[in-house]
Structure 1
């Protein structure tokens, strides 16, 4: 059972004890450690006080590691080995060139924006490592607040005063309809013109849904949402099946999903701006600080 008292034992006490256990000679060990003999003796005394027993048998000026000392030496060697491994691992993680950056991001940015930033950054820091965590906007911001990610890419701009948000990319939003919809041949539209339509949309915790709700409110109507989903590809499929219309970002280069048409939205603000979020109060590690500097210096990306 662990004793309740605290003896002031330090890691260096364990290091010195292991060295002494190897030689069983105080003078030789002290000289090898570049410390005085009394300093070494006090370290051993602290350990013996902590464990409540002698760790060496003393016969005159000679020391012999006893059975209690053998146990402590075995465990101390493992402890010191683990500490050394931890120092090496943390050191590697903190290396600005090869360290680890934990990045949270809104899921739909994972198909284009996140890979692009990572690819460009690794041209500067080829050994940089990333831990990626995707999710809806609310969940990504909570990850940032809780410290499970270092930085985040999200939209829209958070209202939290403790979060710094730097715009890094813009993508236009379009009204998406089925290819058999009466509006399929139109090119441009005001959102107010589709106020009576059935809509399919993401769930409220997603940033794109929050932008969509704000656009509709600005256009003077509350949308009739008949289906809520958690993924943008699902919405494209629902539109193609005739379940409703949707406001979605312009897809990545290539043809539109089969059975759909997109219309330019004339309303101002029909754009999704992605921002790079950091916690103002958090002290950043060197690799994270370097990545933040890279992103802040990056020109605004427009799709």
Structure 2
């Protein structure tokens, strides 16, 4: 059953005359008649009562017309929505990102892009790195801002900039007034950390492994804001992005730079291999990549 046959049927139901309807549809009478007979064979009953050259919609036809009109309306609505989604100026981009990027990276990108394409809308979703990449793989997201580089050749990841990592310690901690600290000095510390599915936790584990120890994680969280609060409460130390981290003694956690060349995470944008196909997504993707290595992405 084709949508055009439903459209022909509803037109015939309105005019109840094959010749007039065929002329208005710009098709031949035999083509229209065959299409109606196919519909009737499919539903198993006549949809019209025939009276010489005239047709009269019967009770089965009335039922079928009501559903045909809804089907045509749904398809038309879907076409309009898809057109809006792919329009490079007024479409929608589904963007995922790590929660911590929601406080600086995402607002900066969207503010800059809205000046270029004010009609573009965004569906925003903050999540863990693995979840963002998984949603891109399954087309639930168009693009993702994540770290570290995801594994697999089914996605492509473009690095944008490096973000320095620091050590968060409670006020009054033995390392709070240090200018820098080496990762190896933390072997005996209690750590608070994000759960293992988060990219920052994976980087933390690698830093500690490279320094020759496994971090003793006493508390796990799913949000950086909670992580900072746990450190400020004296429950442990944590590795966190230097962006947005407090830097001086007081009621908050204290950020101390890490003296380790690997103490950084590379921010990147991930999409399906081959790049985005929808024009609206491709345009924003190109903009994001054009901002790579900018002082403020």
Aligned to 2:91: 99
Could you tell me how far 1:284 is from its partner in structure 2?
A: 2.2
Per-residue deviation, residues 180-234 of structure 1 (Å, max 9, x unmatched): 1122221112111222222211111110011111111122222222221111111
1:191–1:265 CA contact under 8 A, matched in 2: yes
CA contact (8 A) 1:177 1:239 kept: yes
Whole-Å separation in 2 of the counterparts to 1:253 and 1:204: 21
What do you get for the CA RMSD once the two structures are aligned? 1.8
Q: For the structure 1 residues 234 and 289, does the alpha-carbon distance in structure 2 shift closer, same or farther, using more than 3 Å as the test?
A: same
After superposing on structure 2, the runs of 4+ consecutive aligned residues of structure 1 that deviate more than 4 Å are 253-257
Matches of 1:293 and 1:275, distance apart in 2? 13
Shift of 1:35: 0.8
Structure 1 residues 48-99: Cα deviation after superposition (integer angstroms, max 9, x where no partner): 1111121111122222222221221222112111211111111111111111
Inter-partner Cα distance in structure 2 for 1:243 and 1:221: 20
TM-score (norm 2): 0.93
1:261 aligned residue: 254
1:139 to 108, 114, 131: 131
Matches within 5 A, 1:204-283: 204-252=196-244, 258-280=251-273
Structure 2: how far apart are the matches of 1:64 and 1:247? 77
Equivalent pair of 1:170/1:301 in contact (CA under 8 Å) = no
2:22 aligned residue: 30
Corresponding residue of 1:6: none
What's 2:82 paired with? 90
The DSSP-based 3-state class of the residue aligned with 2:165 is strand
Give the unaligned 5+ runs of structure 2: none
- Separation of aligned partners in 2, 1:291 and 1:123: 12
Structure 2 CA distance, aligned partners of 1:66 and 1:11?
21
Q: Describe the shift of the 1:109–1:199 C-alpha distance in structure 2 as closer, same or farther (beyond 3 A).
A: same
Q: Does 1:285 pair with 2:295? A: no
Match of 1:165 in 2: 157
Q: Structure 1-normalised TM-score?
A: 0.92
Whether contact under 8 Å (1:170, 1:302) holds in the other structure is no
| Aligned mates of 2:55, 2:177 — CA distance in 1 | 95
1:180–1:34 distance in 2 versus 1, CA, 3 Å: same
| Deviation of 1:302 (Å) | 4.5
